[in-house]
Amino acid sequence: MSKINQYTEENIRSLDWKEHIRMRPGMYIGKLGDGSSPDDGIYILLKEVLDNSIDEYVMGAGKTIEVSVQGTKVTVRDYGRGIPLGKVIDVVSKMNTGGKYDTRAFKKAVGLNGVGTKAVNALSDYFKVESNRDGKSVFAEFKRGVLDIENKPEDSARRRGTKVTFIPDESIFKNFKFRNEYIARMLKNYVYLNPGLTIVFNNEKFHSTNGLKDLLEERIKDTQISYPIIHLKGDDIELAITHSKTQYSEDYHSFVNGQNTTQGGTHLSSFREAFVKTIRDFFGKNYDASDIRKSIVAAVSIKVMEPVFESQTKTKLGSTEMGGDLPSVRVYINDFLKNKLDNYLHKNSNIAEALKKKILQAEKERKELSGIRKLARERAKKASLHNKKLRDCRVHLGDLKNEKRLDTTLFITEGDSASGSITKSRDVNTQAVFSLRGKPLNSFGMSKKIVYENEEFNLLQAALNIEDSIEDLRYNNIVIATDADVDGMHIRLLLITFFLQFFPELIRSGHLYILQTPLFRVRNKKETIYCYSELERINAIEKLQPKPEITRFKGLGEISPDEFGHFIGDNIRLDPVMLDEDKSIEELLSFYMGKNTPDRQSFIIDNLKVELDIID
């Protein structure tokens, strides 16, 4: 008999709920990550707990939610109705158990599948749930999903509500770190979508009175706009709309039942279609859709009965129906805009005129650029065919399903040697490489025309597929991989300038990163340690005494493909590029990339002193 893998009854296994979650965490929380990306698993754990507290507020129970993140320990306390005391253990440890199946209790809830808190429980090294209601309290503690301590209901004077504490399991989320900026952004979205709700995060209060209008005002506070924000509300829909004067592509913030649907879905596509139709009908002109939507900045929120999302992480709506007696999502949004937006523009002729002016300007620019764009696309297509700049991944070559899109990464590298090393050591399924030739152009203050005329920018834009909207972005993670020297830092700055100048929403949405690569390799015959700083080098030398071999990496090209695999695989270190909310993009670009000023000279000198102190 041929010696092949046998398939018998012994190969069939039945996993309990926690084993399955721990073995296949990606099915429940998407990618794992280390906390450097806003869609990493540790934030999904927090979101799953928060969603339950938000649903309590939506149902009219509890106006305040308290969130504390101290190191790796997370605590969420709401003042809702509290979990029924006899079901506290069940709702966090029995699959397909929860109150969201009963639409009498939760009509338009976020969490519907009875999975969320179970996933948090199973993927946490420590998990505690406490419920307070009817003058009594119950709590239960778990370790990696296994019940450790429980108590019977006892009298309590605590305010009603639920408190959940968890510590993510470091054996699953390796080297993770919570970034307060990402958490704050998530919590702000919750209060914008639920006016009147207060969330206290590490003693800082978040609150909104004007809903999506407040959200959009924060998002565009560093942007010049063509007209004041149009804010429209209905029973199950809320919209905030304006057009930017400075950015070029479409920028959307979409939500369903309070959930930030970062990948859009049927509601967002319906809005984009309905907005174009309404504007055409209002002006009686068949304007090009791209001219109508160019530079639009909009927030879209709808509420749907029993929504269907395309994954457990709920980042894309798949539902086509609103539920109940309402029409389809497409018809509902179209009717709303046809009525409310049309009325608004008739009542606000100044805004209608500003919108028309913006559309005509976009039309003029499109026609002026049409020839250049056509040639640019042809060059990009030709370059792609010859594979000179881009080594794509299998997700986009059609070999893998698009469900892996969240894991896709594009490394932007300098030079052939570094590109070659990363290309040879990358995960060909999800990681792609784009090779720069020399330093890119300083695009500060330039018009979008330069993106098409400059070969590097044109091909990079084509590789990312962001000409019209970041909704079509081909890679979830864009990683600048340059040498840790003066030239490498300069290239980083030039690339960040390019994205800030033309595609700031990529940075706002948390897609841009800097790859950390080791400065030193310290090794002896038994062990090798890669060091990312002078302090790590000193510690490694002490650990590997007496006289380890020390190598200083001068550039990425000096790191072999075999070694590179350590730095872009499971142990990858990424620094997210994040915007300072206290400064506008114009202010940032002018300071760092504009004319040389005494202020910038002082800034460079002061920070150079700090760096030298660290090295000494």
Tokens of 214: 């407040």
- 3-7, 39-43, 484-488 — most confident range: 39-43
More confident residue, 213 or 583: 213
Average pLDDT in the 284-296 region? 92
Range of lowest pLDDT (20-24, 360-364, 488-492, 602-606): 602-606
CA–CA distances in Å: residue 235 to residues 90, 190, 239, 254, 333: 34, 18, 12, 17, 12
Domain ranges of the chain: 17-207, 212-365, 387-517+556-582, 520-552, 584-616
Predicted pLDDT of residue 229: 95
Average predicted confidence (pLDDT) for the chain: 83
CATH topology identical between 212-365 and 387-517+556-582: no
Is pLDDT above 60 for 114? no
- Residue reference for tokens 């976020």: 110
Q: Which of 242, 351, 332, 239 is nearest to 296 (CA)?
A: 242
Q: Which of 201, 171, 196, 263 is nearest to 46 (CA)?
A: 201
84 preceded by a cis bond (ω within 30 of 0): no
Tokens of 104: 């009498």
Q: Residue 580 and residue 577: Cα distance in Å, rounded?
A: 10
- Per-residue pLDDT tens for 252-274? 888 988 888 877 788 888 999 99
Predicted pLDDT of residue 488: 85
Structural fold of domain 387-517+556-582: Rossmann fold (3.40.50)
Q: What is 17-207's CATH superfamily?
A: Histidine kinase-like ATPase, C-terminal domain (3.30.565.10)
DSSP-assigned letters across all residues of 496-561: HHHHHHH-HHHHHTT-EEEE---SEEEE-SS-EEEESSHHHHHHHHHHT-S--EEEE--SGGGS-H
Q: Provide CB contacts within 8 A for 291, sequence distance 6+.
A: 359, 360, 362, 363, 366
Q: Residue 423 and residue 112: Cα distance in Å, rounded?
A: 42
- Per-residue pLDDT tens for 123-148? 999 999 999 998 999 999 999 999 99
- Per-residue pLDDT tens for 432-462? 999 888 888 888 888 888 888 888 888 898 8
Distance of CA 459 to the CA centre of its chain: 24
Q: What percent of the chain has pLDDT over 90?
A: 34
Predicted pLDDT of residue 105: 40
Is pLDDT above 50 for 102? no
More confident residue, 341 or 482: 341
CA atoms within 13 A on the CB side of 23: 8
- Domain 212-365 sits in CATH at 3.30.230.10
Average pLDDT in the 459-467 region? 86
Is the separation of the CB atoms in 245 and 295 below 8 Å? yes
**Single pTM value for the model:** 0.74
- Per-residue pLDDT tens for 12-27? 555 677 877 888 887 8
Q: What percent of the chain has pLDDT over 70?
A: 86
Predicted pLDDT of residue 383: 59
Predicted pLDDT of residue 159: 92
Instruction: Encode burial over 322-358: b for 16+ CB neighbours within 10 A, e otherwise.
Output: bbeebeebbebbbebbeebbeebbeeeeebbebbbeb
